[in-house]
């Protein structure tokens, strides 16, 4: 059983998140009582990961309004629209919360206009749609894992095991469960075709050292932690089969925003002829932007660079630049692994126009 970033109980209307700022030293769940709590735990990165952000944000709305009485469908629609747009502001780069908000606002508009739908039915349908995000994400991730594992194994001869590099955290701590890129690694491990995983520590928030290593050790998956600066030397000295990373926002041409450091890994992988894959659900693809230049890159506080916990590691007064993400051009990406299949970047536009979520 992989770790759970999100615990939601419909009967008790209870939502809790695993405080990832405390991992791996402490395992503490925080109660999310409504949208304000949801915004804060996402913005502070107590919960993070594109899919998990959307799920926690939307579930925070469910716990807030489930027991609330509304005067009319119009009032319900206005309230959910305002709160969903507020949740989108918690972190700008990952598209999942924005896409979920747009779809839920559209649903609320349709239900509000449909005279055959009562206020109670509208609320029930709205809340049920959000609750279904949890199970759908897990199902999507399992499909991503299996699709990605098959794609990578198709690149190697015989039944030899593979060696994978991954960056940041894309596992059960970034999703509702199983993970995206880490889901591919889990599927390879289940197929007994995974020789070793190399996970980068992923400065400055250390998602790799603190979270991915934690997940891999928890499941006894053979892994080695490396510094972000070691990727090129590793590719030069070890026979790496593939790189698999996650995504926060994939543009329609396949350009991908992901954790800072992803772009340089892709450049090094190109030089060493190591296939570089992005693993993400369709909910992470933003069909409304044509290329990566339109993706807003979140910049985070200097303190995330100058301190580890309460311990200062950088000279007081030094200026910092702390972009949380960078954009990898489609030209460096061998394939985008989704729950619907694996697509070359140049196939994505066609896939988006023919496949629905
Ligand atoms: C499946 S998670 C995708 C993505 O989210 C992470 O960013 P953050 O930890 O800042 O939320 C990282 O970029 C992962 O690859």
The strand pairing partners of 165, in sequence order, are 198, 243
**Rounded Cα distance, 254 and 280, in Å:** 11
**Rounded Cα distance, 189 and 106, in Å:** 40
Cβ of 284 closer than 6 Å to ligand 1, yes or no, is no
Nearest CA to ligand 1 atom 12: 259
CB atoms within 10 A of CB 123: 21
From first to last of its 357 residues, the chain has per-residue pLDDT tens of 458 999 999 999 999 999 999 999 999 999 999 999 999 999 999 999 999 999 999 999 999 999 999 999 999 999 999 999 999 999 999 999 999 999 999 999 999 999 999 999 999 999 999 999 999 999 999 999 999 999 999 999 899 999 999 999 999 999 999 999 999 999 999 999 999 999 999 999 999 999 999 999 999 999 999 999 999 999 999 999 999 999 999 999 999 999 999 999 999 999 999 999 999 999 999 999 999 999 999 999 999 999 998 999 999 999 999 999 999 999 999 999 999 999 999 999 999 988 765
pLDDT score, position 355 = 79
**Rounded Cα distance, 344 and 73, in Å:** 44
The strand pairing partners of 18, in sequence order, are 29
Strands 194-200 and 162-166: parallel
**Rounded Cα distance, 240 and 267, in Å:** 15
**Rounded Cα distance, 296 and 163, in Å:** 33
Helix (H) or strand (E) holding 215: helix 213-218
Cβ of 327 closer than 6 Å to ligand 1, yes or no, is no
Which of 97, 167, 202, 246 has most ligand 1 atoms within 8 Å of its beta carbon, as the pocket-test mutant?
246
Catalytic residue among 248, 255, 286, 326: 248
CA–centroid distance, residue 68 to ligand 1 (Å): 33
Give the up-direction half-sphere exposure of residue 311: CA atoms within 13 A in the CB hemisphere. Answer: 2
Domains present along the chain, CATH in parentheses:
6-138 (1.20.120.420), 145-354 (3.40.50.10470)
Cβ of 48 closer than 6 Å to ligand 1, yes or no, is yes
Does this model's pTM top 0.80? yes
Cβ of 249 closer than 6 Å to ligand 1, yes or no, is no
pLDDT score, position 131 = 98
Distances (CA, A) of 145 to 77, 265, 356: 37, 21, 20
Radius of gyration of the chain (CA): 20
**Rounded Cα distance, 107 and 345, in Å:** 30
Cβ of 170 closer than 6 Å to ligand 1, yes or no, is yes
Nearest CA to ligand 1 atom 1: 170
pLDDT score, position 147 = 98
ipTM of the complex: 0.98
User: CA-CA-CA-CA torsion for 3, 145, 61, 24, nearest 10 degrees?
Assistant: 30
**Rounded Cα distance, 110 and 101, in Å:** 14
Asked if 76 and 108 touch (Cβ cutoff 8 Å), the reply is: yes
CA–centroid distance, residue 177 to ligand 1 (Å): 14
Distances (CA, A) of 215 to 28, 121, 149, 198, 211: 16, 40, 18, 13, 6
Alpha carbon 9 to chain centroid, angstroms: 22
**Rounded Cα distance, 60 and 130, in Å:** 10
Nearest CA to ligand 1 atom 13: 259
Is residue 248 part of the annotated active site? The answer reads yes
**Per-residue pLDDT tens over the stretch 77-105:** 999 999 999 999 999 999 999 999 999 99
CA–centroid distance, residue 318 to ligand 1 (Å): 27
**Rounded Cα distance, 173 and 242, in Å:** 22
Cβ of 168 closer than 6 Å to ligand 1, yes or no, is yes
pLDDT score, position 90 = 98
DSSP 280: -
Using the atom order of ligand 1, give the atom closest to the CA of residue 53.
11
Q: Which tokens belong to 153? A: 């194994």
pLDDT score, position 2 = 57
Cβ of 187 closer than 6 Å to ligand 1, yes or no, is no
CA–centroid distance, residue 315 to ligand 1 (Å): 28
Question: Following DSSP, what letter does each residue of 3-33 receive, concatenated?
Answer: --SEEEETTTTEEEEE-TTSTTT---EEE--
Cβ of 324 closer than 6 Å to ligand 1, yes or no, is yes
Which of 21, 91, 168 has most ligand 1 atoms within 8 Å of its beta carbon, as the pocket-test mutant?
168
């Amino acid at each position: 059983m992989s770790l759970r970033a999100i615990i939601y109980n419909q009967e008790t209307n209870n939502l809790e998140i695993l405080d990832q700022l405390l991992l791996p030293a402490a395992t503490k769940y925080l109660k999310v009582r409504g949208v304000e709590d949801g915004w804060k735990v996402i913005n502070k990165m107590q919960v993070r990961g594109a899919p998990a952000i959307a799920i926690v944000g939307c579930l925070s709305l469910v716990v807030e309004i489930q027991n609330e009485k509304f005067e009319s469908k119009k009032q319900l629609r206005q309230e959910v629209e305002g709160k969903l747009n507020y949740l989108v502001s918690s972190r700008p780069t990952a598209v999942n919360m924005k896409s979920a908000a747009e779809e839920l606002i559209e649903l609320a508009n349709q239900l509000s206009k449909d005279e055959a739908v009562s206020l109670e039915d509208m609320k029930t349908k709205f809340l049920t749609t959000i609750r279904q995000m949890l199970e759908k994400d897990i199902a999507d991730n399992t499909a991503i894992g299996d699709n990605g594992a098959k794609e990578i194994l198709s690149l190697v001869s015989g039944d030899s095991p593979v060696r994978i590099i991954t960056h940041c955290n894309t596992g059960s701590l970034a999703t509702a469960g199983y993970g995206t890129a880490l889901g591919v690694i889990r599927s390879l491990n289940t197929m007994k075709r995974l020789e070793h995983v190399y996970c980068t520590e992923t400065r400055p928030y250390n998602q790799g050292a603190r979270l991915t290593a934690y997940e891999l050790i928890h499941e006894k998956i053979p892994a080695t932690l490396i510094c972000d600066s070691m990727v090129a030397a590793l590719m030069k000295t070890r026979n790496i089969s593939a790189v698999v990373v996650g995504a926060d926002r994939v543009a329609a041409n396949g350009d991908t925003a992901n954790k800072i450091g992803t772009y340089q890994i892709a450049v090094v992988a190109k030089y060493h002829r190591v296939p570089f894959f992005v693993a993400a659900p369709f909910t992470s693809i933003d069909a409304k932007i044509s290329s990566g230049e339109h993706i807003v890159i979140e910049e985070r506080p200097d303190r995330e660079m100058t301190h580890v916990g309460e311990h200062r590691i950088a000279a007081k007064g030094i200026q910092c630049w702390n972009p949380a993400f960078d954009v990898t051009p489609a030209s460096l990406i061998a394939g985008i692994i989704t729950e619907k299949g694996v697509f070359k970047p140049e196939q994505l536009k066609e896939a988006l126009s023919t496949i629905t979520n």
